[in-house]
A = this chain, B = another copy of it.
Amino acid sequence: MASTLPPIEIADASPEVRAVYDDIMRTRKIDWVNNFWKMLAHDPKTLRRTWESVKEVMAPGALDPLVKEMLYVAVSASNGCDYCIASHTAAARKAGMTDAMLMELLAVVGMANETNRLVQGLRIPVDPQFERKA
């Protein structure tokens, strides 16, 4: 399978793109850039905006980075995005996720997908107990 556009390699990057690539490598303490960014580089504004957003969203805050990466894996599995599953599973492992944690994460993802569709198929109304009190 060929990608829609060719990756823009580090050596071929414009200064604007290169600046983002450098920030990615510095922030993540790695010496390579993954294909996602090399494709977004065809639109430097989207590359920069997406990178700045990911950096802000995935930073430690009320949730720690491991939980955030696991949430990312959960959504990606639920959406069937193969690249995203592979890249965020790798990131979650780097952040401390074990195989046992991954298996439990996916068990929850499976269960949620199952009950989501049972609920919608049965057209179940929300119990008042679950609603926010005015």
A interface residues, how many (CB within 8 angstroms): 84
* A57 in complex: contacting residue of B71, B108, B126, CB < 8 Å: B108
Tell me the nearest residue of chain B to A39, going by C-beta: B122
Q: 1/0 per position for A20-45, CB-CB distance to B under 8 A? A: 00000000000010111001101101
The residue in A100, A105, A112 that gathers the most chain B C-beta atoms within 10 A of its C-beta is A112
Cβ of A14 within 8 Å of any chain B Cβ, yes or no, is: no
Q: CB within 8 Å of B: which residues of A?
A: 1-6, 32, 34-36, 39-40, 42-43, 45-46, 49-50, 53-54, 56-58, 61-63, 67-68, 70-90, 98-127, 129-132, 134
CA distance A14 to B24 in the complex (A): 33
